[in-house]
Structure 1
């Protein structure tokens, strides 16, 4: 099941250990994709390393044979080890750090090799793209996809500007859903765990005929929340979510296949920061000390269904999220003797509202900093892709055309400084007062054409050459508010108009034309070992500071550009019992988009705005290893060594050094050392009629910055997860009991007025049935 939700059951992190130990590119137990028409390469009887077929180069290939740094998660590991969602997957990908956006549990903020962003506004794009069934998901504010009936997940590290396009300077997370089966069947899973967390998932395959296959899936989640509000007694950071998905596969002929899907998901919940003590913390390098897991506001939770501003003012309550999401897709594949033509079409619509009080330690609910936002996004995309082989297979190529249109709308109101009622925040600039109720609409159109070819120059030596041309146009419009009126304000109403922005000399249209090339060489040393080198370019779109309270701060910023140079090897050794993969990389990003201090005349006050801050260089070594001497025992160790530095920055005169990014500033979310290790062992127990398994995993991150200006750091992180499983011999049912974060590791994920906490320790029991 595909869901726009937060789904963090405790077994997921621990299961990751075994997952990484069983994935392609450092992972085993992999299965080939049904669409690829290839079977997994079996291991010999002494070990259990296998292959997974991926589409990281937009065609089915064995992950161990492509010159791409990709971590792939197979259907078997997702199914058997209860891998839950995108944010859980990313925890174990080398050079990757991910958390939820501050205050928004449906939004994942991915950082790969130091590139990422923490804003969800449509005028600021993420540099790590999310794809579902080859369809780009443009908006980050609901990208935490949960996995149920997922065929595989591929995380591609580094720019993917040729085949995946814009907004992939950091990388891409590609999710491929399982297609309907040609056999009747059903599976059900339920869990119960800490903080009253209950999950239920069901999927049913119903083949109508040999040529018409269907699959129906649903889920439900209830979580009471792990954050205690000591003022109201309520629990926060929980959720209630549910959703439905249907898939239809039409096998029109042996050459023509049509896949259709539709889904609806609804998520409600909170993600709130912890209260703090007015004492500096050396552990977190903050001016205050977080108190885990407590909040102190007198604001109570409520429903966010409807207009968040009206809800806040009429009920006096907030701390809520309501996100409703609709999606539909069609994938038409026509296989001919000359090649395969695919048409990939997708539509997504989202209606989201939230009220968040970011002042978690301020007891007076009226005095805190409160955002009440209403967001509407819809997108349509279409792609025609042709893949083929020539010269008896020595030349393979993929080419295509692509189009995407987005329509985004945002209403954001800020409240602060009240004593007995909510007071709309105001800003005075150039002698004019502005009420902070900003409204905009944005239209984005992008079109592209791409081509990538692999040519075997001589036996076992292959050259890759590709490029993508992208044309993009963005238009932005602002509107005054009709619900807050004051004769003293600009236009007598809150907010401002497009005319006000243009009067400040700021254009509200951007057009970008980019060519993003890729070149690579790979050499097959033997059937189980390759070495490769590559140079790849990518770009992230420009945008605006679209949520600012005054028109002259709606500053545009330029596209972010990255060149990445990589070299590596992939190998299966000792009869496919040992897998060693490694990648070294050097990336240089110019016009890096970050949020930092700036003074915008006529104001004399420092504002934190998204801008092009300078040039960032990152480099490092990533590895994924797995040893499986038997089919029942495996161990893994993987991780990365990373370094990041600002080579140059753009300084603003008059802004204090502490409010600016400088060359001495530590880049965001670049831990110098990451490592994950673990072991999995299964043993048959005849008396129980099945297998009993035990797994243990350890994950370590060295400290890393979670605030752009280095005002907060995650501490040294050490996570321990354990899991005990039972699988009946007939494969019809099983159960497990596990604990994540056994040692109660406390960490922070973001710093925006409040400090936002990572997950606490969780215990979870699970049962599953196949019919």
Structure 2
């Protein structure tokens, strides 16, 4: 009740801002030439102007994406308040997200993520494997706060939607190339074909590669495994990437019926940034010198970023992603449209070897690992969404149904204290099996790993209604979801040598609601108050059931385009209550597990400002504050929140007056700050100094010559630099119950872009 009263008092306090109404009244005459442009979002499942949607949402159009160098989900962290994106260890293609204190980053198919990730409105069942480039992005929207009614389960922190470009029906060609340090080479081509009657098509191809940022001092060491792993070889460099991506879009426009097909495919070969040995857990410190103190340890513990590491079991990985979506919209009348979204997506990732312990060790002449792993995983998903959308005067509504089915397999042994003899390696599933030799007495290579299959299904129905007058808008929605989850556990923990292989089932359902009241000062300014619920599905991991996480959110906000639409102000204050909070943790003996906290509270504030004080000059800034408080785990005690308390970005762009040939210079600089934060959910005061990530401020800059006439085309040439001051801070760290390892940020990169449009 105290929190609810605070929200209501905040609504009343908004009347103190009434002078803003007088300023905003001046905007009704329309924007000047130097005014701010509109940004389209689909936060309520229909296209709307970002400023008219009573939801905290950040939107980026194609020009903004280019200026900010955003190519995939992992690039968004520097541009959205209260959003942090980290490159974690365990996979080169699995960024970890934190949005308003809610985390994603799980590598387990049995668990879901609290931030919904979408491509063209299609839900991605696995956040693991989302650091892949899309060949043709048109816009991006980041919705902050629970989106449980319109976007469904697993959006307790928010939703991120990438929208790819649709065909125009006119002949257009766009070619872009990049060359940079660390042997960075990138090329992209997009071709819009002329319409053939009602059919139009767009094709795009992307190639992006670099040689990596950290050298491996032990490259080329080969290990032969039984299927499905095969032969692996330690990487030459860490952070190396080689990506090929393709996209196709086709539109059939039959007036009342429009059918869109979109296809994306990415083939990414890469290596992790490299796990660096930071130090040791005190419980392991007495044993560590027997292994890490040997001459075979090439690089010792250090809390400073090393330019070269010795990781003899970290190998290149390969990720293949493909997606198909078919969207059909039929106008039954001028007021009613029926829409169908059918989608299929597939993920195949061979993670390869993962030298978790941060060292290259030899015992008795054989390669030895205190802790490492190898992984092969595959996932498929089908989804079907059917919507009925209506617009009748002051009332707009959508009624929909959603079906989702996912299957996956994940084979992930974890080698603890293991020797690798020169034979074909078969991971041990119990005493007397396999060909690895364990000197720690661990009975199985699956004690902390698993070999499992999953089948997850979800069914939902929802409805959302809004009523709008000149001064007010009232909106509300409801959703019912039913989940069925199955885990088929072949090996994990004491399975199968003590406990048999077994299949586990879990099911649950949930109702979600939202309600929003908006006071429309004028078409360019409004206040809103919003209540929303959401849930993160429960299930079973390692044969142990866990409850669904639920959230209730209270939010007030203001959106305004002021001073003749030259100043955009978007602000939101929020409070959330979560129950059965799901946090994933890892230890050398237990592997990955749910570290549940009975409840959590997040309170915070977000402010986004964009100003165009004069023609050609644009300033933008955003600020995010979130205070997270998690209750203790009944068994393990305090649970750490891993979200930074403060995030901020500032940027400015100056477009100089045009030259005689109509080209012009454009300069942009952006800075992003995030507060210091913890990186290990399990609280351990003895290693907290090693797993605390420092605050940092990163600067990016770009200088462009735009619209340069060249051989009948228009060219764009840009010189850019990322991480201008060459920060080399710790980005991710974990205590593994033995060693403490960390991943450091990418150093300064720079290059030149050249682009042409025909």
TM-score range, shorter chain: 0.7 to 0.9
Match of 2:716 in 1: 734
1:443 equivalent in alignment to 2:455:
yes
What SS class does the counterpart of residue 64 from structure 1 fall into?
helix
CA deviation vs aligned residue, 1:613-645 (integer Å, no higher than 9, x gap): 221111111000011023310111211122111
User: 5+ residue gaps in structure 1?
Assistant: 1-40, 281-286, 300-316, 482-488, 502-507, 547-553, 600-604, 653-659
The DSSP-based 3-state class of the residue aligned with 2:58 is strand
Partner of 1:68: 55
Distance, in Å, in 2 between the alignment partners of 1:621 and 1:466 is: 24
**2:369 partner SS:** coil
Aligned to 1:396: 396
Q: How far apart, CA to CA, are the structure 1 residues paired with 2:581 and 2:725?
A: 37
Query: Structure 2: how far apart are the matches of 1:597 and 1:412?
Result: 14
Deviation at 1:769, TM superposition (A): 0.7
The match for 1:474 is: 485
SS at the partner of 2:325? strand
Cα distance in 2 for residues equivalent to 1:449 and 1:224: 48
Q: 1:558 matched to which residue of 2?
A: 547
Query: 8 Å contact 1:78–1:147 — kept in the other structure?
Result: no
What is the CA distance between 1:58 and its match in structure 2?
0.5
TM-score, normalisation: structure 2: 0.83
1:101–1:119 Cα contact (<8 Å) kept: no
CA contact under 8 A between 1:366 and 1:416: conserved in structure 2? no
Distance 2:322 2:119 in 1: 13
**2:277 is aligned with 1:262:** no
Q: Work out whether residues 114 and 668 of structure 1, in 8 Å CA contact, stay in contact via their aligned partners in 2.
A: yes
Equivalent position to 1:245, from 236, 247, 270: 247
The answer for the alignment partner of 1:314 in structure 2 is: none
What is the alpha-carbon distance in structure 2 between the residues aligned to residue 734 and residue 42 of structure 1? 35
Shift of 1:42: 11
Q: Which residue of 1 aligns with 2:368?
A: 366
Structure 2 unmatched runs, 5+: 1-27, 220-234, 282-299, 432-440
Equivalent residue pairs, number:
664
Match of 2:634 among 644, 651, 655: 651
Match of 2:416 in 1: 416
Q: 1:452 aligns with which of 452, 464, 467?
A: 464
Native 8 Å contact 1:726 1:734 kept in 2: yes
8 Å CA contact retained: 1:187, 1:203: yes
1:433 and 1:193 map into 2 onto residues whose CA distance is: 48
- Matches of 2:311 and 2:472 in 1, distance apart? 66
Partner Cα separation in structure 2 for residue 490 and residue 697 of structure 1: 52
Check 1:234–1:491 CA distance in 2 against 1; reply closer, same or farther (3 A cut): closer
What is the aligned counterpart of 1:743 among 698, 717, 725?
Answer: 725
1:347 aligns with 2:344: yes
Segment of structure 1 superposing worse, 637-646 or 154-163: 637-646
Contact 1:216 1:247 in 2 (8 A): yes
Q: Does 1:498 align with 2:510?
A: no
Q: Is the contact between residue 256 and residue 334 of structure 1 (CA under 8 Å) also seen in structure 2?
A: yes
Q: Distance in 2 between matches of 1:197 and 1:234?
A: 16
Moved more, 432-441 or 727-736: 432-441
Alignment partner of 1:97: what SS? strand
What's 2:304 paired with? Answer: 291
Deviations 1:519-563 (A, max 9, x none): 1101101221100001100000112334xxxxxxx3111111111
TM-score when normalising by structure 1? 0.81
| Distance (Å, rounded) in 1 between the aligned partners of 2:606 and 2:49 | 20
CA distance in 2, matches of 1:42, 1:194: 49
Task: State the 1:297 CA deviation.
Answer: 2.5
Instruction: Say yes or no: does 1:703 pair with 2:685.
Output: no
| Distance (whole Å) between structure 2 residues aligned to residue 628 and residue 366 of structure 1 | 60
Equivalent of residue 183 in structure 2, options 196, 202, 217: 196
Pair 357,582 (structure 1): closer, same or farther in 2 beyond 3 Å: same
Q: CA RMSD in A?
A: 2.7
**Alignment partner of 1:54 is 2:77:** no
Specify the SS of the correspondent of 1:77.
helix
Q: Which residue in 2 is equivalent to 1:37? A: none
Match of 2:560 in 1: 571
| 1:557-599: CA deviation from partner (whole Å, max 9, x where unpaired) | 1111111100010011110111111000001111000135899
Classify 1:558/1:727 alpha carbon distance in 2 versus 1 (closer, same or farther; 3 Å): same
